[in-house]
Copies of this chain bind each other. A is one copy, B any other.
Amino acid sequence: MKAIGHTTWVVPDGRIPRQSTGPEPEFTSRDELFVLNTGDAEAHLALTIFYADRDPIGPYELTVAARRVRRVRCNDLIDPEAMPLGVDYGVLAESNVPVVVHLTRVDTSQPALAMLGVTAVPVAG
């Protein structure tokens, strides 16, 4: 099957909420990156995280198998360093093959689930 999407995506508006209510891990506040790879080749992504008051950190390497989706909680991105909570960030995602990228925030900091979908911006590919 053909690889569909774009090779470069920019994701604005990142910030992992600090507080949570309700049982873990389902109701833990979080930012999640979602990558869909429709193609027949493994996708290798390099993520660069941009911050408000220091230099970008990266690359975070992420692999998505052929014809698979992968959802990653941003607080599980720990190499080259763990992402901080409650801090503004943006993501540059560069892939060797076309993929589709999306960011979802689950926020339970007040005792009722809220969700935010951040549409990633395709740039090239």
Contacts and interface: CB of A to CB of B under 8 A. Distances in A.
A23 B123 CA distance: 39
Contacts of A70: 52, 88
Contacts of A105: 115
Interface string A85-125: 00011101000000011101101111111111111011100
Contacts of A109: 26-27, 113
Contact of A114 (B34, B112, B121): B112
How many identical chains are in the complex?
4
A-B residue pairs, 9 tightest by C-beta: A112-B112, A36-B90, A12-B102, A110-B113, A115-B116, A13-B102, A13-B34, A113-B114, A69-B90
18 contacts: A1-B56, A4-B10, A5-B123, A10-B36, A12-B35, A12-B36, A12-B100, A13-B71, A13-B104, A38-B48, A38-B50, A38-B92, A51-B69, A52-B68, A69-B88, A90-B100, A104-B116, A119-B119
